[in-house]
Amino acid sequence: MIFAGTWVDDLPEQLTAELTEAGLEPIWVYGAVLLAFEEDLPAMPFEKREVDKTSEATIPADARGVAEFAAREPGVVAGLGVAAVAFHFAMGDDVEIADRVPDGTRVAPGDVLMRVSGPTRGLLTAERTALNFASHLSGVATATAAWVDALEGTGARVLDTRKTLPGLRMLQKYAVRCGGGTNHRMSLADRAMVKDNHVIAAGGVVPALEAVRAAYPGLRVEVEVTDLDQLRELLDAGCEEILLDNMSTETMAEAVRITAGRATLEASGGLTIERAREVAETGVDFISVGALTHSVRVFDIGMDLREGR
């Protein structure tokens, strides 16, 4: 069946179990795939859904094929399970996916990432949606892995941020994990993150910290500082998580010395991978990188039709 529009409960149990184990809610992944297909094949009001007119015109209805997803460059893959959801969404159970490498795998150019068999029309209809997810998420994982490699042996870990593409945060943060990175908060409710504007509104770093503690006892709270005086104030107030914003390497090293293990320190603000090791060697615990999700380059994956009949 071409464009089956299968419901999430119709996905293979193994696939939904895999998504759940990876920390992805299957119904949420399904919803993201549905929205992506709505862009390509919108459902017309009171009419049936549009069709892929190129494939309908050029491919016989009974044609079947086998296609390979292959890496065009070295990197770390992520989102192949989401791509599998896209194919199942389009073709229901009339599709077979084999030889899919696990997300988080480092691959080389030419490596086959998975093989998909089914109606040729369906393969080509779902191709771009599947590739969009897999290529973007693999780009996030590959970029993250580069930072992880740059920090190897320093003790510092790379963090993501909330600078994610609207609607794709769960998937992008999953891709960060695939690349070996660490997730910061998922939402505004996970923990308190006191930034510069909160500090201004509250009248200082310590008043802001105390306001959060009073309103939400027991909630994790991290406070941003821009100088060492603010750092000292927070340490005296017992703050256990502090963000060092846009500081020089020398100032960060002094912040680590002053803190002496009393709080975890996160370096943030315009950091580049060229500075990664230099910053990590100051002794900070985390380096947060918004570019992992807000401006990452997609990973080059191609889908090649190998057989058709």
Tell me, yes or no, whether 58 and 173 share the same domain.
no
Tell me, yes or no, whether 89 and 155 share the same domain.
no
- In this predicted model, what pLDDT tens digit does every residue of 128-171 receive, in sequence order? 999 999 999 999 999 999 999 999 999 999 999 999 999 999 99
C-alpha closest to that of 69 among 105, 24, 17: 105
Tell me, yes or no, whether 119 and 230 share the same domain.
no
CATH of the domain at 263: 3.20.20.70
- Lookup result for tokens 């009073």: 214
Beta bridge partners of 66: 117, 307
pLDDT at res. 270: 84
For 157, the token pair is 């870990």
**What's the rounded mean pLDDT across residues 60-77?**
96
- Rounded CA separation 185/193 (Å): 9
Confidence of residue 1 (pLDDT cuts 50, 70, 90): very low
2 pLDDT more than 60: no
Residue 274 DSSP label: G
**Residue 109 CB partners (closer than 8 Å, separation 6+):** 71, 72, 73, 74
pLDDT at res. 307: 67
Confidence of residue 3 (pLDDT cuts 50, 70, 90): low
**What's the rounded mean pLDDT across residues 85-102?**
95
Tell me, yes or no, whether 101 and 187 share the same domain.
no
Confidence of residue 77 (pLDDT cuts 50, 70, 90): very high
Residue numbers annotated as active site: 128, 163, 195, 224, 245
Residue 14 lies in a domain: yes
pLDDT at res. 160: 97
**Residue 293 CB partners (closer than 8 Å, separation 6+):** 140, 160, 161, 163, 164, 165, 169, 172, 173, 176
C-alpha closest to that of 193 among 143, 157, 243: 243
- In this predicted model, what pLDDT tens digit does every residue of 267-302 receive, in sequence order? 999 899 999 999 999 999 999 999 999 999 999 999
- In this predicted model, what pLDDT tens digit does every residue of 99-137 receive, in sequence order? 999 999 999 999 999 999 999 999 999 999 999 999 999
Range of the domain at 222: 149-294
pLDDT at res. 4: 61
**What's the rounded mean pLDDT across residues 72-81?**
98
**What's the rounded mean pLDDT across residues 229-245?**
98
**Residue 256 CB partners (closer than 8 Å, separation 6+):** 265, 282, 283, 284
Please state, rounded to an integer, the average pLDDT across all residues of the chain: 94
Tell me, yes or no, whether 129 and 156 share the same domain.
no
Q: Would you tell me how many other CB atoms lie within 10 Å of the CB of residue 187?
A: 8
Q: Which string of b and e fits 4-36 if b means at least 16 CB within 10 Å?
A: bebebeebeeebbebbeebebebeebbebbeeb
As a whole number of Å, the CA-based R_g of the chain is 23
Beta bridge partners of 168: none
What domain count does the chain have?
2
Tell me, yes or no, whether 160 and 123 share the same domain.
no
Beta-strand (E) ranges in the chain? 64-71, 75-76, 96-98, 106-107, 112-119, 157-159, 192-194, 221-225, 241-245, 264-268, 286-288, 301-308
Tell me, yes or no, whether 95 and 184 share the same domain.
no
Q: Is the dihedral of CA 170, 28, 41, 125 positive or negative?
A: positive
Confidence of residue 9 (pLDDT cuts 50, 70, 90): confident
Residue 289 lies in a domain: yes
Predicted structure pTM score? 0.93
